[in-house]
Amino acid sequence: MKLFETLKQKVSPVRPTIVFPEGVDERVLGAAVRLKTDGMVEPIVVGAKADVEAVAAKHGFDISGLTQYDPATYEDIDVLVESFVERRKGKATAEQARELLTSDVNYFGTMLVHTGKAEGLVSGAMHATADTVRPALQIIKMQTGIKKTSGVFIMVRDHEQYVFSDCAINIAPDAADLAENAFLSAATAKTFGIDPQVALLSFSTKGSAKSPETEKVVEATRLAKEKSPNLPIDGELQFDAAFVPSVAAKKAPGSDVAGKANVFVFPSLEAGNIGYKMVQRFGGFEAIGPILQGLNKPVNDLSRGCNEEDVYKLTLITAAQAIDERNEA
């Protein structure tokens, strides 16, 4: 697919270091081995040494080239403990920090990112989304001026690629949340070579219906345009008006986004989550994500139903984000 060939070309010369807290999962370990062999990233796999080796032996993985860290025996654990206590600003003692970091692989992996041992993290094959997001919010934290993280999916089918957001995190975003989501999603699109045309979706197009729900999207559009005046953004738009040129000509004439949108901001989590799954299942699109936006460093969440290829592809996305983060630093 065009997207992933582009990402490989971007990632392979740099080879960012990405940590996989779930090194005892065969899908994760298999992807880490492939990523190392293909020269895409430098993987760090986390897990008890004997357990990782047992999985590798069972599935025939050559893990000799991988960096492996066992939280229980990690030689620099004192550095992580001290940094964690400082980061949490008195919310955890050193003893509590040590217990957490040696028992919770996601906290351990997130601290590797925070302290610069890794540039990004991929988890979620064995854990719920909250188990990945919570350490990131507490330790990595949000970029300056950003209030909330949001979860986007890159929807890919052959040479088609779109951004759907928010489909994973915020249940009932307000107008300010939607506006923030809009410009963050545009930035995410640019990371993956998509020239963003952002549509804020509703069940109404340009006042065809009026309710608190539609007015929220109207206000969000105003705020987003105010924040990013040079970015193509429009709303409120029904999906057909956002996507189909002939419908756009009738429902939203004069719009510079309607009929050609490729970044779709949903008005609620239920709409976004249902929408991406319908496109995935009915339309035959591959859904890559959720990709978390707005954090200081890239942390991304797998589905527990993922396969090895999903891990591989989400890691390429995480590595691309890490490169952009490095370039902006």
At residue 42, the pLDDT reads: 97
pLDDT score, position 206: 93
pLDDT tens-digit readout, 184-239: 999 999 888 899 999 999 999 998 999 999 999 999 999 999 998 999 999 899 99
Cβ atoms of residues 293 and 165 within 8 Å: yes
Determine the pLDDT at residue 324.
86
Write the pLDDT tens digit of every residue in 39-52.
999 999 999 999 99
Strands in 206-310 per DSSP E: 233-237, 263-265, 286-293, 299-301
Q: How far apart are CA 62 and CA 42, in angstroms?
A: 15
**pLDDT, average across residues 319-325:** 90
Amino acid present at 299: V
In whole angstroms, give the CA distance from residue 287 to residue 280. Answer: 6
- pLDDT at residue 290 in the model: 84
Checking if the pLDDT of 1 tops 70, the result is no
pLDDT, mean of residues 138-164: 91
For residue 168, pLDDT beyond 90: no
Instruction: Using CA atoms of 76, 81, 84, 89 in order, give the dihedral in degrees to the nearest 10.
Output: -150
How high is the pLDDT of residue 158? Answer: 86
The mean pLDDT value of the chain amounts to 93
Neighbours of 82 (CB within 10 A): 13
Q: What CA–CA distance (Å, rounded) separates 40 from 38? A: 6
Give percent of the chain above pLDDT 70: 99
Q: Which amino acid is at 256?
A: D
**Is residue 303 over pLDDT 90?**
no
Position 329 pLDDT exceeds 80: no
Q: Minimal CA–CA distance to 149: which of 127, 190, 176, 177?
A: 177
Q: How far apart are CA 283 and CA 301, in angstroms?
A: 23
211 torsion bin: left (phi>0), alpha (psi -120 to 50), beta (else): beta
Half-sphere exposure (Cβ direction) of 290: Cα atoms closer than 13 Å: 26
Beta partners for residue 288, in sequence order:
154
pLDDT tens track for 16-62: 999 999 999 999 999 999 999 999 999 999 999 999 999 999 999 99
Asked if pLDDT for residue 244 goes beyond 90, the answer is: yes
- Helix ranges (DSSP H) in 25-155: 26-37, 49-59, 77-88, 94-103, 105-114, 129-135
Q: What's this model's pTM, rounded to 2 decimal places? A: 0.86
The answer to whether residues 117 and 17 touch, using CB atoms and an 8 Å cutoff, is: yes
At 86, is the secondary structure helix, strand, or coil?
helix
**Which token pair is 237?**
């738009």
Q: What are phi and psi of 168, to 5 degrees?
A: -145, -20
Whether the Cβ atoms of residue 185 and residue 263 lie closer than 8 Å to each other: yes
- Cα 181 to Cα 37: distance, rounded to the nearest angstrom: 36
**Alpha carbon distance 91, 80 (integer Å):** 15
pLDDT higher at 271 or 287:
271
Name the residue among 123, 67, 118, 77 with its Cα closest to residue 100. Answer: 77
